[in-house]
Chains A and B, each alone.
Chain A
Amino acid sequence: MKQKLIKIAKWVFNLLKRIFKAIFIHEKACCKSILLFMVILTSQNIFAQKTVHYDLHIKDTIVTFGGKEKRGIAVNGQIPMPTLTFTEGDTAEIFVYNDLDEESSMHWHGLFLPNKEDGVPNLTQMPIPPHTMHVYKFPIIQHGTHWYHSHSGLQEQIGMYGSFIMNKRENDPTFRKGIDDLPTVPIVLSEWTNLKPENVHRMLHNASDWSAIKKGTTQSYFEAIKAGDFKTKLKNEWKRQLAMDVSDVFYDKFLINGQNESQLTQFKGGDKVRLSISNGGASSYFWLSYAGGKITVVANDGNDVEPVEVDRLIIAVSETYDIIVTIPNDSISYELLATPEDRTKSASLFIGNGIKQLDNSLPKLKYFEGMKMMNDMVKMNGNLKDMGMKMSLNQMDMNVVMYPEITGNLKTKSERKEEKELQKYGEIEEQEMQMEDTNRYNGNALSDIVTLNYAMLKSPTITSLPNDAPVKVLNFRLTGNMNRYLWSLNNKVVSESDKILIKKGENIRLIIENASMMRHPMHLHGHDFRVINGQGDFAPLKNIIDIMPMETDTLEFNANVEGDWFFHCHILYHMMSGMGRVFSYENQAPNPLIPNPKLAQRKLFSEDRKFHFMIENDFASNGNDGELMLQNKRWSLGTEWRLGYHKMHGFETETHIGRYIDKMQFLQIFAGFDYRYRKLEMNEIEKNLFTQKNSKDNRILASIGLEYTLPLLVKLQAEVYHNGYVRLQLMREDIPLTKRLRMDFMVNTDVEYMVGLKYIITKNLAAKIHYDSDMGVGVGLTIGY
């Protein structure tokens, strides 16, 4: 290749020399320098003209990752999608054929490219219609490990993710001997669920705890009592919190390059192997550890970092890490273990040839310790306390209280008893821990295990921004409400906010504080940002940053390429709920791929405005009870009905259309409509507690009211009907008694009351027994969707 280039260059040089000679015979010396200059130009052109072409065919397929035949989306028949490899200086030309019956798109994650090639449907291009083709073409102007995925709907969850590797040029001054020349294996981590992702999304919005049941993380009262943490659970519900987990979705399988377990047999003892790892999971963070010793981290998000040796690291959703591992022994293969944050399962890659050496598996999380920590963190109004700790860059991980490998195993019953005994005699003070103990959440100080954090990343080259550019500071709070799965920035979702205008040439500084109770991997399209982490001019460059609850991180980037760039949480279900913003350059040229910007915006906004549907009916021995709900971010429409088997029980329905008022969504105002038909016995008149009478057997009422969530998650409803009739009601649904047993109760000023027990059998089926003041005891089956 090189020789060929030299030949061509020589030929061009000679040719030009002849021409020039002919023209300027008498100015030889001067000509030579010009000629040299031209030669350099030509040879660079030859480099740049190398076009690397890929054809990608997107097709529906059936996969069995989870042990059942389910729909997946494969590209060129593969899940993950094929690895695309380039060298810096190439031009990428990628033909995407959408053979699906639905729209699609392809986003090149972490790449610097013209905005119209970025692949965000309805923002940088219109979606690729079914059975059509779209061409992406852009120069490769960077190097490093990146990946690509569909940015349409939830397609990423069911297979549309793959590695995108850009190699350094051989003569790159940043080429690192012993690192960049190692044998390298691209790796994509991902997860599989047997549920349709649309259904996962719907269930999350309906606060279904099916995932928790599958994971065994219901954190019910019975489990709390067994663990000696009844008070903890009570306090948690008193603070109006639902049981939390480190992740929301139950997955049937975790995958490394599409396999749960696989082996790289091409390597032998003594080899050093570089793994270019991308986390293509839709919502799973993975712990990475290696049975053959330490892991050396050499790059993050495609950018080189000074090598750092660790025992383990967590890779956030959509992050990439390049790591080097060494195979200590010839006849053994060593496990690279990828454990999702909830530790329910894992995936393994064995490196080397021979018998498989397992790595230490991660012990189960201590959920009630987490709950205690959360109780300390949350104020009565649902906001997080300011703990007076400056937390940033993953250095403090509050979740360490749940990690047995760092904070020790759960206490046994006898140990707890002993402790209680001692407390009684005042030998131990109340368990209230010292808040000022700064190392309380510092995993690296608490144990011998070295866990990577962002403060340990250092760029080998200076990354500082042009210092004469104007600075624009933007503050973001990551906000959220777990109960209704509402995720937002500054309490607003994409469709509720304008694009953020920035100017070309500005330095943009982002100060991001996580005020929600989940961690969020925040990703910026089209730019790398510097993470201000104490490394000065050598701050590492990244395009996604994981921000844990209560952390504040500062990022900065130079606005250097026009366009509309998405900035969002990369947890797919958070993004689809509207957790993002669009950065847009002032006075930029219109995007030729968005012929109708208004239509595009409407389509973009429709994503997080979607209503989520839920229906349930209890077929009981004493009648039918049912409920239908349609909800989105702020609105809720619900209808309840009761249908008796005889006239006296009658038929009753109540419909509420409500809007949530406050940030935490504890308060809702609603308008209601009631209809009732029944036949009362002669002379029977019902009275409520306010001695208002109500005797009509056939009534139609309109009402307005308020609903407020009280401590212990009891809902107080106050309703006034158009005829002046007033009703107050207290209700609590789904008290988690055991893993699968739930209790409901209701009482109101019409002197109606109800109490019920429900045993959840499958995600759509429950057995129920209840007592109702109108209809008596009923036993039945509840079917829901």
Chain B
Amino acid sequence: MKMIFIWAIILFIIPNTYSKSNIKNAKKAVYTVSGNCEMCKKNIESAAKINKTAFGIWDKNTKQIVLIFDSTKTSADEILRKIALVGYDNDKYLASNEAYNDLDKCCQYLRKELPKTKVDVMLPIKEVDNLNASISDNLEDPKNAEIIQKTDTIKQEPIIIAPIVIVKDSVRTNIPTNNAKVKTAVSKTDFTAFLTQYYAIKNALIADKMVAANKNAALLLVEIDAIRMDKLSSDEHMVWMKYFDKLKADVTKISVAKDIEKQRIAFSSLSNNLWLTVKGMKINDNGAIYVDYCPMKDAYWLSSEPAIKNPYYGSSMLTCGSIKETIK
């Protein structure tokens, strides 16, 4: 039996332990790597590390990294590429926008302004809905808007200009202060503002952002109150009277709920009532309104774009669902 143990030790343990040795054929090189903080230091240095082959030491004040590497096995370029892959621009490589955006907020250093393009770059066109998604982000983190505007504009998400939220000045004063970044604009119809605000809640739910949903629901309450019944035709008035209380009740629930799943339950009810309202009052937004259906929750929601973005599961099952009806 003793033999067996010895065998076991030899077989299972030895292959897994290797002696720590110094780097052979060591070469030293210094480069500049963008970054902000201690967290950046950790990210950069772990990207630079290759077992027994390379490591780097980065200084957050000078932004310089000292690389020590085995020049027969790797190169400074290879290491700098790895650093850029985790999001840090450096002398040789620029990180992709995705890698940069994936950095923690505190690590998102200021990127250098790059010369403007000479040709028309084909910028990906994003639907309006994305704009709304960023509203909810901005509401949570006002710093965000600044950062986005400073990032370089070449081949990346469009710059988020002021999110469009339509507000009546008379009531605006009651609203929490976090919409300093929110610019006002004038709507064509009262319902556009109303729907836009509904979509903002939806986008908050899509992004799993409970606080943003709270805030946007509060804003929607204002929009509901802002609908002037005396401007409605008598038919519209009847419909509106029928759903007014229900809509308000649902929205209130969302605005006070401290649990995103409760918000979603209220949102499902809100969506049903809104659907009936929209149909009943023959509201047409500037574009089409899509009524989407989530088979797993047996719930509906409205959207301004045909792409499915399911607000009932958040990012986990974003694209599950189908268009049930298109209101034009």
Contact = CB atoms under 8 A, between A and B. Distances in A.
A328 B308 contact: no
A293 B99 contact: no
Report the 8 A-B pairs with minimum CB-CB distance, sorted nearest first: A767-B11, A779-B7, A360-B98, A270-B118, A360-B96, A446-B319, A357-B94, A328-B117
Interface in A227-279: 261, 269-270
B121 A759 contact: no
18 contacts: A269-B119, A291-B96, A292-B155, A294-B124, A328-B118, A355-B94, A408-B317, A429-B296, A433-B296, A437-B322, A445-B307, A445-B308, A446-B307, A448-B307, A621-B7, A779-B4, A779-B8, A781-B11
Interface string B98-124: 110000000000000011011101111
Nearest to A407: B319
B320 A330 contact: no
Contact of A767 (B12, B91, B98, B117): B12
Contact of A411 (B84, B94, B99, B316): B316
B11 A358 contact: no
A649 to B, nearest CB: 16
Contact of A422 (B98, B119, B261, B319): B261
A355 B93 contact: yes
A621 B2 CA distance: 12
B124 A311 contact: yes
Interface in B11-69: 11-12, 15
A440 B308 CA distance: 10
Contacts of A433: 296, 320
B295 interface: yes
Contacts of A769: 4, 8
B96 A361 contact: yes
Nearest to B80: A356
Contacts of B257: none
Interface in A402-416: 406-409, 411, 415
A621 B4 contact: yes
Contacts of B297: 427-428
Interface in B290-318: 295-297, 307-308, 315-318
A330 B92 contact: no
B97 interface: yes
B121 A780 contact: no
A440 B295 CA distance: 13
B154 A329 contact: yes
B215 interface: no
A330 B155 contact: no
A283 interface: no
B94 A448 contact: no
Nearest to A761: B15
B131 interface: no
Contacts of B261: 422, 427
A434 interface: yes
A308 to B, nearest CB: 13
Given A408-B318, A427-B261, A433-B320, A358 B15 contact: no
Given A356-B93, A408-B317, 16 more contacts: A293-B155, A309-B122, A355-B91, A355-B92, A356-B92, A358-B93, A360-B96, A361-B85, A408-B315, A409-B315, A445-B307, A446-B308, A448-B126, A759-B11, A761-B15, A779-B7
B81 interface: yes
A409 B318 CA distance: 10
Contacts of A445: 307-308
A246 B315 CA distance: 25
A329 B316 contact: no
B115 A329 contact: yes
Nearest to A430: B296
Given A270-B118, A407-B319, A409-B315, A434 B295 contact: yes
Interface string A437-463: 101100001111000000000000000
B115 A270 contact: no
A465 interface: no
A422 B117 CA distance: 50
B94 A356 contact: yes
A329 B99 contact: no
B77 interface: yes
A502 interface: no
B104 to A, nearest CB: 16
B117 A358 contact: no
A476 to B, nearest CB: 33
B73 interface: yes
A288 interface: no
A403 B7 CA distance: 44
Contacts of B92: 355-356
A752 interface: no
Given A355-B92, A355-B94, A408-B318, A269 B295 contact: no
A261 B118 CA distance: 26
Contacts of A439: 308, 319, 322
B81 A358 contact: yes
A419 interface: yes
A359 B154 CA distance: 12
B249 interface: no
A291 B155 contact: yes
Contacts of B77: 261
A679 B149 CA distance: 86
Nearest to A766: B11
B121 to A, nearest CB: 5
A439 B123 CA distance: 26
A593 interface: no
Interface centre among A67, A269, A293, A448 (most CB of B within 10 A): A293
A329 B118 contact: yes
A163 B54 CA distance: 37
Given A67-B73, A407-B319, A759-B12, A326 B121 contact: yes
Contacts of A356: 81, 92-94
Contacts of B11: 759, 767, 779, 781
A360 B93 contact: no
Contacts of A440: 320
A588 interface: no
A313 interface: no
A427 B261 CA distance: 10
Interface string A749-785: 0000000000101000001010000000101110000
A332 B121 CA distance: 14
B316 A293 contact: no
Nearest to A331: B115
Nearest to B121: A328
